[in-house]
Chain A
């Protein structure tokens, strides 16, 4: 059993808090990660969001910088 995954905290942010997080950090230090399907992304996404559909996430984690703040939706 990978116990660590249950110990890493994942907090929730509301939209204002997420917006403030971007403003408080240097450009590019906060990543919005869109885990929906490409069609949903195409219809509407947060400006600059990176698309990795949930089904592909496990195999594409290396595309994300582990040092940055990542806001997932």
Chain B
């Protein structure tokens, strides 16, 4: 149907989504997009992104208080700390795109309210993944799934044509950050495969 209509590079994914061995995302096409609707400046995209990282950090810290297993507690603390590094990266992207240096704390004051990465709420995530919060393997799997949702959200938001080109470019940069977060988490899981 698309061949011969001016498309330069078309590929079929062999085996479709069933053959895809990496993380997938769930939810309808427009879930979470309200967070990025009508965006014009890169600053807006980065502030929302920063809020999402903050929301995820709060989530990890709140679950950390509930779990009993000491090593899982430490894992949640580590995941919460990783979100600070993600926030710092967004502050750096902000400095690169605006030429204005700002601290993470100052940036945090710009957030209207923290939301969860991927656009779902904490409860929705817990229900969705049915994670055993005392199991390190399951918790890491959930963290990876949340990053996949975030990658999905930023990529879908970058496709919204009503947003400015500048705004969409920054969303694609944040999406790439999410992709690298996923790669690092996968690497961590591989390294600790024998101890988990």
Contact = CB atoms under 8 A, between A and B. Distances in A.
Interface of A: 2, 4-16, 18-19, 21-22, 27-28, 32, 34, 36, 38, 41-51, 54, 57-58, 61, 64, 66-73
Interface of B: 1-17, 19-29, 148-149, 151-152, 154-156, 158-159, 168, 172-173, 175-176, 179
A43 B24 CA distance: 10
Nearest to B3: A8
Contact of A61 (B5, B19, B21, B24): B5
Nearest to B29: A51
A4 B5 CA distance: 8
A29 B21 CA distance: 21
Given A27-B175, A48-B155, A66 B8 contact: yes
A15 B9 CA distance: 17
Name A's interface SS.
mixed
Contact of A12 (B14, B148, B159): B14
B4 A13 contact: no
B148 A47 contact: yes
A19 B182 CA distance: 13
Contacts of A18: 11, 13, 20
Nearest to B148: A47
A55 B61 CA distance: 45
Nearest to B27: A42
Nearest to A10: B10
Contact of B1 (A41, A47, A58, A69): A58
